[in-house]
Amino acid sequence: MSKTSVLFVCLGNICRSPAAEAIFQNIVNDKGLANQFIVDSAGTGSWHIGKKADSRMIFAAKKRNINITSNARQIIKDDFRKFDYILVMDNSNFNNVLNLKNQVKGVDLAKILKIQEFALIYNEKEVPDPYFGGDAGFDHVLDILEDSVSCFLENITYS
């Protein structure tokens, strides 16, 4: 059985996408599905490559028993061959990812989707970037991601 590969993408890969990666990994672990998935995250920008997630996001996630362990990296052209799903946090990231994909010849594997297409409870069209805000913004982003990421898994599991 081949594994389903999922890449979460935001701007710098230190807030939203590593949180989405950790949430998704927790959910598949809890459901006994971890061996069926490859999960990663990346950013469209290069500012934070190699760094841990933002300490405020790590703290907010830990309060929910979510452990963010990834190091920031930038999305690369090979990701379009490697991942079945590339889930982006906002319209800007969506456009940046599409532009990069258009530079890669003969790649049709990755489905590029906005994570909020799967939201059930929260109706924001984009996952807001909490980086320049206060602590409440990190909690709100986690609420949004818990909703949309779990609904994404249900969508691909039962479709």
pLDDT per residue as tens digits for the range 35-51: 999 999 999 999 999 99
Report pLDDT for 82: 94
pLDDT at 95: 98
Catalytically annotated residues:
10, 16, 129
Which pLDDT belongs to residue 159? 55
Confidence of residue 106 (pLDDT cuts 50, 70, 90): confident
Answer with the residue of higher pLDDT: 157 or 39. 39
Q: Is the pTM here over 0.95, yes or no?
A: yes
Pairwise pLDDT comparison (116 vs 134), residue with the higher score: 116
Q: Do 94 and 114 contact (CB within 8 A), yes or no?
A: yes
> Which domains are delineated in the chain?
4-157 (3.40.50.2300)
Over residues 20-39, the mean pLDDT reads 97
